Amino acid sequence: MSDFNPYAGPHPVAPDETSAPATVQISRRWALFWAWTGLLAGVVVTFVGTFAASALVYFGQSAGCDEVANEATIEVGMRSLLGVLGVAAVPWALAGFFSRHKVVVGIAAVIALTPALYALAHGLTPGAWDDGWCF
């Protein structure tokens, strides 16, 4: 075998004299911009999705006008809300586990999961599933 190294010598595409620090700084800014944009998009999508899913659970499982919800309906509703929270929390848990910025991801996750957490806490209160959708 020969000791041929294709990576030695001048780069075939890039010129020998580049302004590397300026290029690195611009790419860092763009990387930071897209990281924050992605985090914000994840928060908005999760927030809207859990809000809609929780509202649909309440719409489907709450009793009608002047009715009291029975135990089976409340149990199915609470399990459904736990499912919504679980499905929405798994990506945030993975992001927090693999990220170097665990505090930032944790704060974003709490903000994103607020509708599901509120719906779950509200579902535990007495009468939350009674008289659900009277217009």
Predicted local distance difference test score (pLDDT) of residue 67: 77
User: In whole angstroms, how far apart are CA 8 and each of 11, 14, 20, 100, 131?
Assistant: 8, 14, 19, 34, 76
DSSP state of 16: S
Predicted local distance difference test score (pLDDT) of residue 80: 95
Residue 74 has pLDDT above 80, yes or no: yes
Predicted local distance difference test score (pLDDT) of residue 25: 54
Predicted local distance difference test score (pLDDT) of residue 6: 59
Domain boundaries, the chain: 42-123
For residues 83-108, give the mean pLDDT. 95
Q: What is the pTM of this model?
A: 0.75
Confidence of residue 53 (pLDDT cuts 50, 70, 90): very high
Confidence of residue 9 (pLDDT cuts 50, 70, 90): low
